[in-house]
Structure 1
Amino acid sequence: MANEVKKTSGDVARTDDRQNDQTGPTFRPATDIFEKDDVVTLAIDMPGVDPGSVDVSVENRSLTVRGTIDAPAPEGYRRIYAEYGPGTFERAFSLPDTIDADGIEANHKNGVLTLTLKKSEAAKPKQIKVKAA
């Protein structure tokens, strides 16, 4: 079953082959992608992830997003069952040449990581003025 993705509650895919005892399962967060003029926006669900644990990186035109969730049991209790607990959110995207990798902005609010990807100047439509001779 290597690399087989299974659905869990909340429509978050979990890849079981990447689970280990120290970090828990790796979740593939749901992502919405929107485009407007010269901007592409990604809204990535990362509930329970502390903004300080989020890592966004670009290498070789690959955008990778990671964040860890720590869901400790309440003080004095031990966890006996959990459908959603400690683990790592991870997702990777291939960036087209039209995206300016240096202009990516990230914002984390209410469990959603929003990435704003600006298109490069070369990808923007250009209007050419016609001069009268």
Structure 2
Amino acid sequence: MAMYWDPFRELDRLATSMLDSRQGPRVMPIDLHRDGDHYVLNADLPGVDPGSVDVDIDGQLLTIRAERTLRSEEETQWLVRERPSGSFLRQLTLGDGLDTAGISAHYENGVLSVVIPVSEQAKPRKVAVQAAPRAEKEVTASAS
């Protein structure tokens, strides 16, 4: 499979990236689902050094930060350079009923997984129904 280099496409891409007024943190794509008594957030961060990943909780605000740096030697002549580098940021407001002290995270194969447990108070529970005690009537026989 041959790859053709289009200098006009590359100039267009370079101009777009140089004139991009955002130049702030990039957003990382995430998936979020509930699995029993916890939520699982998966964030795609391919090529990110695990040491640069930072997960913070401030009250109900979950913040994920990461940094991707591309190696660039002085003699490197890039033909195509489409993978974004720089800072990545995602912030989510967590609702009530979550155990923010029990949040854990791990990074594997370019995916950051954050596990957010549901608090004990918010978990559904079964309430036992007890029968009311009956007042026992004492039956006495009278001799006449």
By the TM > 0.5 criterion, same fold?
A: yes
- Check conservation: 1:73, 1:79, Cα contact below 8 A: no
Q: Letter of the aligned partner of 2:67 in structure 1?
A: T
Residue of structure 2 in register with 1:87 after alignment = 86
Residue of structure 2 in register with 1:112 after alignment = 111
TM-score (norm: length of structure 1)? 0.77
Cα distance in 1 between the residues matched to 2:52 and 2:82: 22
Aligned counterparts, 1:16-35, within 5 A: 16-19=20-23, 26-35=25-34
- Check conservation: 1:30, 1:45, Cα contact below 8 A: yes
Cα distance in 1 between the residues matched to 2:91 and 2:37: 22
C-alpha displacement at 1:85, in angstroms? 3.5
Aligned counterparts, 1:1-80, within 5 A: 16-19=20-23, 26-74=25-73, 76-79=75-78
Q: Letter of the aligned partner of 2:86 in structure 1?
A: G
C-alpha displacement at 1:60, in angstroms? 2.8
**Structure holding more helix per residue:** 2
C-alpha displacement at 1:38, in angstroms? 1.1
CA radius of gyration, larger in: 2
Structure 1: runs of 5+ lacking an equivalent: 1-15, 20-24
TM-score (norm: length of structure 2)? 0.71
Residue of structure 2 in register with 1:124 after alignment = 123
* Range that drifts further, 26-35 or 81-90: 81-90
Structure 2: runs of 5+ lacking an equivalent: 1-19, 133-144
C-alpha displacement at 1:131, in angstroms? 1.6
Deviations 1:68-94 (A, max 9, x none): 001112574254752113211110001
The two structures, once aligned, show a CA RMSD in angstroms of 1.8
Deviations 1:14-46 (A, max 9, x none): xx5441xxxxx5221110011022100000001
Residue of structure 2 in register with 1:100 after alignment = 99
